[in-house]
Structure 1
């Protein structure tokens, strides 16, 4: 079940036409409209592009900012996410893509993640990401132990 992106208390009944966040009442809409950032439609999907997220090409380095991240996953482990057939299959689901857009575009990432984690499809996606990263972490740890 989703919760209001503004008050984080009620079940949302409405969606902002500009940014697509969900809210529960006129009061929440009035609080939200002053900080509303309109949702930009993604560029049309190029079927020739071989990209796990079906958007413009990006690299992991584009997402990493030293000052923003304190607990990092090594780049080589993150790159495994883009090579996963299981993740690509999950990302074919339009509902999951919409959930990811909602989390990415939310004012409160914490609240958006909390709401998204109530969706079994999002939990499956998160678990698959962790499985890929953690399995690689275990193999890196065992390889490092072999080197000693």
Structure 2
């Protein structure tokens, strides 16, 4: 487990887009950026990490938010947009019981244990299945995304 490279107190949630130093908050980022030194990176042609999000602190790329292990599981941006546009998902998310399940997971201290219980709920399984159908469609239904 990593700790913040700046304050050495919290678990880092972010990674510097320039030098890949891990930090936990905006205040730690502001302290870090004065001493930031870029690192050389080998570009990976297989990963399209060009999507950036502009913030007050500067531009962020998807690659800055993912560690190396998570990049292989990255969902293409177009698929994420399709999740947001899905009428089936919207209909499911109107269900008060499902909304309560999601809130329970979100507010739990030990999310892993709560997820094990929630994953036994048929309504949650239906939500997960619907998301997977959009994110990883079967080969006969899929169209290539470029």
Task: Give the TM-score taking structure 1 as reference length.
Answer: 0.47
Q: Name the structure where helix makes up a greater proportion of residues.
A: 1
Task: Give the TM-score taking structure 2 as reference length.
Answer: 0.48
Q: Name the structure where strand makes up a greater proportion of residues.
A: 2
Q: Which has the bigger relative contact order, CA under 8 A and spacing at least 6?
A: 1
